[in-house]
A and B are shown apart, each in its own frame.
Chain A
């Protein structure tokens, strides 16, 4: 037993330190990006920094605790956690819901929490539990696949409809899709599905551009127009995107230097939040931006390693889900900031400001580390 214990002490420090690096880097960037606005709004340039530091500290403790818990304790309550997250999303409609920046996405339970973040964890755990048990049935047969789609579709749909948070819905659905894809012995149907999705997106853009879908239907249609011609909507929908592009373009190869961004001085809205990557580009340049991306690649590579070496499929699927979550979110965020896709509110994991996001991301990292600890050397 004592020998066993020694073996169990293994933990993926590469992952751990990469996350710590990203968190600290995130704190620096949040401070840099937010200090102007925060000193104007709160008369305290470190207001956002302090909040973020608290959440980070809390998250760090969470990581330490969760990484030491055997992740199997989450296998049985996966369904209740999933159902509870659905309930929490539903609660946003009740007076407990909080409106911030014009969107009703928060729950006020002493601290404000985004239920969508919990739903992501719920979906990861549920699919990990189900796929590890009935993997082939769910992913390789049509009825099983349909059931999986429904299970993934419910929280995604609820997040989209109740909190009108498209990006979180995409992430929730994307996590499920990735997990099913990995589980399934088949590949072709997924390729076809992906092509179908791309085709649908192209059709939608075409219809918006030709006025087949009137702009009044949804504000997202206007976003698509603004995405295609940000200059034409510079004073409205395209403002944020355009300012973000100005930041990126004015940064150059090595940037203006840490803290030297001028675009954060009231020009880029949500500079410490969704648009923090554009400030990174402006201050640290192409070099800094690529360095951050490399850090994420290392992180994701560690997930691949852990998942592929996990002692059981439950742990492997958890890591796969977390990897899907972080990959999708990073790609979407950078794509939005560079105006590669239409603007949708999405944060950059570990770096953007946001307490709930940090907390639940670190919970997921804790799970992954726990899985890595179970790997016997």
Chain B
């Protein structure tokens, strides 16, 4: 303003004049317009900040993030109890092409780079890469080769570092071409050094570190870590600096599995499957097979095996797997799986699912039979019935029961496996001989409520919570308060309800270890990536299921199943030479009963007095002519496994070994290592093996009547079933049908007499005893329901 005043003075003095008033006003108006524009722009800035500020801040953050790179974590190892690796993750590299970079500097690096790729990675198709670069010149990331080990990428990395000599130019070091636009992304690949070893148990990893089945699935979150990140940022000196937030590697789990025991078990299972393949009918040796070896004193699983095995390193490849009996003969029947509703009728057609038969087979192969499948346990259940009755005080153990070969329950005759009847039996003898009549009587003495209570105490119908993925509890397939008298009768010897192998093994351990029910477990320690222990998983007692004294009594009874005179027991053939063993056999008839299919099993533990190792063998539908007579397959498999496992576990023989046994051991030792078919001998060479002569295929004559009767009971069918179902009535040597309970017994031996000829018969095979080999014939007991 002061200048304006001065201006008026100047105007007077100077002839030349500046702006007149109008111009000055216009100039001020212009200034006000400019001011207005600035105010508008300021308001716009303010509005931008107010309305979009938060949004744009996020955008800016997001943009910064996209400049970062994930660093993969390493999935933890799975170790066996001795520290050898069952599964581990190996660092590998993915070949990544940055198309934009390859085209930098007018694409002069493209040619040498492609050449170097085809030289170092012959399996990578450079034509494909060129094609991709042409089509996506702006692409920054495309993987062209996955899971390359370091030694494969090393030559390329060297070339990348030093450049490659230019073509056609003398070997001048300064004339080197740079390789551009290729880098290697770190990744990990899961490896299973045992290939097929413990495949069902370990499970496998697919895709982005996701475990399927077994330990890999159950411990997925513990095995997995957290991805790290690499950020690029500017430091104060405007230098691009990498900041690395390292990946947190996953924890390592230490399993209770023993690689050696597991391979012993798998070897014998494989041998068994090979030996009995196509034996009676074309097909696999058994529909299913499962073996659990564990420590009964703390629930630790040593081994768990099924069949067939698959390669964990390539789980989807079924080429090398014996699929005999797994792929349905009539695809149409199985390719459509009908989802059936509770009452057994197919539900809405919407629920019909088309399932690729191979997918179904794969799932069947991947699943762990020992925990995922349920079945009727058969006689292995008997010790549980007895233990419950003893513990509840319903019996003292001093009772005796008269077995006439059957017991009438609810109007039906439920038979013993020995239709001829075993006479007066103590509780111990009832267990040793696996007498259904005795067990039914004990169950009746116990009563429905107590029996159910103990059934639940023994954890049937509940999961054992073993730390493996895919355990089933079969709770829908167990009895409840609505069970009837016949239900109680058959359940006493393990028919009519379902269990899993792990339920049986865990419960049986409690029976013999003093009554302590341990949670079966496969992992005992969790370590971090540095090897420090993060978590210990000590043995966990769920409950005391029976008293110490009951358990002691059970050990005594179960000892007699194996250790009694072969004539007086069912499990003698399970005993490895030099050891005392306790256990229980089982021969369960499968539903539908009309098919005469059986599930045979043996649960054994050693030493009988102070159990240290327990082995449970289940063979579902053995491929033999008369499956009900094949229980010995299970006892023998148990014996072979035990024979090898015991020395390994430093459990020493306590009993004298006979010369015969010594010779057999020698023979076995050779066979174990020659991988020859040991099992084939025992069945197919019956005539040569006098020792086993009495119990071979000839046993088919009968002696296994209980099975058919169960059908009657379970399905509640009346009357005519016996005629309709029973395939062949027992016959004597002359071909006349034997009528139950009219048989005369030889006074001296207690053996039955042939009603036709008056000859003394073998109690099991019902064949005339040959005086010459009578001694051997004695060693021919058979067992079953």
Contact = CB atoms under 8 A, between A and B. Distances in A.
A91 B22 CA distance: 41
B60 A178 contact: no
Interface size range on A against B: 35 or more
A41 to B, nearest CB: 12
Contacts of A323: 27, 30
Contacts of B35: 297
Contacts, number: 144
A50 to B, nearest CB: 14
B678 to A, nearest CB: 72
Nearest to B38: A293
A312 B53 contact: no
Contacts of B238: 35-36, 39, 45
B6 A309 contact: yes
A127 to B, nearest CB: 14
A313 B19 contact: yes
B4 interface: yes
B55 A315 contact: no
Nearest to A251: B49
Nearest to B21: A308
Interface of A: 35-36, 39-40, 45, 178, 181-183, 185, 187, 245-253, 262-263, 265, 267, 281, 286, 289-290, 293, 296-297, 300-301, 304-305, 307-313, 315-316, 320, 323-324, 327, 331, 334-335, 338, 340, 375-377
Given A182-B30, A311-B14, 5 more contacts: A262-B60, A304-B30, A308-B23, A310-B19, A316-B19
A342 to B, nearest CB: 15
Contacts of B49: 248-249, 251-253, 286
A308 B34 contact: no
B22 A300 contact: no
14 contacts: A245-B52, A246-B60, A248-B45, A249-B52, A267-B60, A281-B45, A286-B42, A297-B34, A309-B18, A312-B16, A316-B19, A335-B41, A376-B10, A376-B13
Given A246-B60, A249-B53, A307 B6 contact: no
A377 B45 contact: no
A313 B56 contact: no
Contacts of B63: 246, 267
A102 to B, nearest CB: 17
A316 B56 CA distance: 45
Nearest to B33: A327
B239 interface: yes
Given A246-B60, A249-B57, A327-B34, A290 B10 contact: no
Interface in B27-80: 27-28, 30-31, 34-35, 37-38, 40-42, 44-46, 48-49, 52-53, 55-57, 59-60, 63-64
B7 interface: yes
Contacts of B28: 304, 308
Contacts of B135: none
B41 A331 contact: yes
Contacts of B38: 293, 296-297, 331, 334
B742 interface: no
A182 B26 contact: yes
Contacts of A304: 27-28, 30-31
Contact of B53 (A250, A296, A313): A250
B37 A331 contact: yes
B18 A300 contact: no
B56 A245 contact: yes
Contact of B48 (A183, A249, A335): A249
Interface string B269-290: 0000000000000000000000
A258 B23 CA distance: 42
Interface in B478-514: none
B684 interface: no
B127 interface: no
Contact of B19 (A247, A307, A331, A334): A307
A323 B129 CA distance: 59
Contacts of A340: 40-41, 44
Contacts of A36: 234, 238
B16 A311 contact: yes
A375 B3 CA distance: 9
A305 B28 CA distance: 9
Contacts of A331: 34, 37-38, 41
Interface of B: 3-4, 6-7, 9-10, 13-14, 16-19, 22-24, 26-28, 30-31, 34-35, 37-38, 40-42, 44-46, 48-49, 52-53, 55-57, 59-60, 63-64, 234, 237-240
A35 B240 CA distance: 12
Chain B contact surface mostly:
helix
A286 to B, nearest CB: 6
Contacts of A181: 26, 30
A249 B55 contact: yes
Contacts of A375: 3, 6-7, 10
A253 B7 CA distance: 42
Contacts of A281: 45
A225 B218 CA distance: 55
Contacts of B23: 182-183, 308, 316
B752 to A, nearest CB: 95
A12 B81 CA distance: 91
From A281, A308, A310, A313, name the one whose CB has the most chain B CB atoms within 10 angstroms: A308
A265 B48 contact: no
Contacts of B41: 293, 331, 334-335, 338, 340
Nearest to B53: A249
Top 10 closest A-B pairs, CB basis?
A249-B56, A312-B16, A45-B238, A250-B57, A310-B18, A250-B60, A309-B7, A308-B24, A35-B238, A249-B52
A249 B55 CA distance: 8
A293 B18 contact: no
Contacts of A289: 42, 45
A130 to B, nearest CB: 15
A308 B48 CA distance: 37
A308 B60 contact: no
Nearest to A40: B240
B139 to A, nearest CB: 14
Contacts of B44: 338, 340
B697 to A, nearest CB: 80
B56 A308 contact: no
Given A249-B48, A335-B41, A312 B234 contact: no
A121 to B, nearest CB: 20
Nearest to B44: A338
B24 A300 contact: no
Contacts of B18: 307-313, 315-316
A98 B682 CA distance: 99
A219 B240 CA distance: 35
A185 B57 CA distance: 51
Contacts of B10: 309, 311, 375-376
B6 A377 contact: yes
A31 B346 CA distance: 78
A287 to B, nearest CB: 10
A147 B13 CA distance: 35
A307 B27 CA distance: 8
B645 to A, nearest CB: 65
A265 B234 contact: yes
B30 A313 contact: no
A247 B30 CA distance: 31
A296 B10 CA distance: 28
A315 B10 CA distance: 14
Contacts of B60: 246-247, 250, 262-263, 267
B691 to A, nearest CB: 85
Contacts of A262: 60, 64
A21 to B, nearest CB: 17
Contact of A308 (B7, B52, B239): B7
Contacts of B30: 178, 181-182, 304, 323-324, 327
A338 B45 contact: yes
Contacts of B55: 249
A252 to B, nearest CB: 6
